[in-house]
Amino acid sequence: MSELEFILFDLDNTLYPRDSGLFDHVDHLINRYLEEVIRIPLAEVDLRRRAYLDAHGTTLNGLIAHHNVDPYHYLDYVHDVPLADYLAPDEKLTTLIAELPGDKYIFSNASSGHCQRVLDYLGLSDLFVDVYDINYFNFRPKPELAIYQELLDDIGGTAVNGMMIDDMAVNLEPAAGLGMTTILYGPSLKTPPSLLPKGRSIASLHQLPQLITELMMAP
């Protein structure tokens, strides 16, 4: 990588750590939506979510296909989380991201509202040129290859001059396949980072500046 044109940041469990508990709250609200709104018996909720995830990529897309769910209603419901209980603005992180080279974008499977609220709360809103969320892609999620290409087309970016950071290895695979440098943040739930083409991993976003410097200097 000789030039860093752009960096794509995942939002949930990437701009804030998984152990903040925020995403566990969202997870709990997804279960509650299936139980209380769709009326799936509690004992079947986990199984149903797994089935929707496997067949449709997200719980939401399974709910749309099988229960004709209004995606806006669902997204408002599951993202209704008191951010102050889980997040704290991090001035060091703000400065760190601001000083990274290239244009910065959010690339998230969450709703526009949730992305904006989290960015505002963390004081990061002004640092990103644009937010590519699940609403933008008409509810098609990562890791659907087509949306990575659509994002690249929209920003006019060249994949080999780009970088993507996500806490889920499965979301990085299409980006790596297109030629981007990929950074796995935190503990991976699925594929070990060594299996990723051109993949690197970091345990803290504060390691990013040094890693980028190393990558830019590598032959």
* Interface ranges with Mg ion (CB under 5 A): 10, 12-13, 167
Distance between first and last Cα of the chain:
8
CB of 200 to Mg ion, least distance (A): 17
The smaller minimum CB distance to Mg ion, of residues 66 and 140, is found at 140
- Distance in Å, CB of 68 to Mg ion, minimum: 27
Closest distance to Mg ion from the beta carbon of 63 (Å): 20
Q: How many H helices and E strands in the chain?
A: 9, 6
The string of DSSP letters for 21-51 reads SHHHHHHHHHHHIIIIIS---HHHHHHHHHH
* Nearest to Mg ion of 133, 167 (CB atom): 167
- Cβ-based nearer residue to Mg ion, 129 or 170: 170
Strands 181-185 and 199-202: parallel
Of the pair 14, 181, the CB lying nearest Mg ion is at 14
DSSP 62: H
Coil vs helix vs strand at 192:
coil
Q: What's the min distance (Å) between Cβ of 167 and Mg ion?
A: 4
Q: Which amino acid is at 164?
A: M
Please say which residue, 63 or 164, places its beta carbon nearer to Mg ion.
164
Shortest CB 142 distance to Mg ion, Å: 9
Is 201 within 8 Å of 194 (Cβ atoms)? no
- The gap from C-alpha 94 to its chain's centroid, in whole angstroms, comes to 18
What are the phi and psi torsion angles at 202 (to 5°)?
A: -135, 150
The residue with its CB nearest to Mg ion is: 13
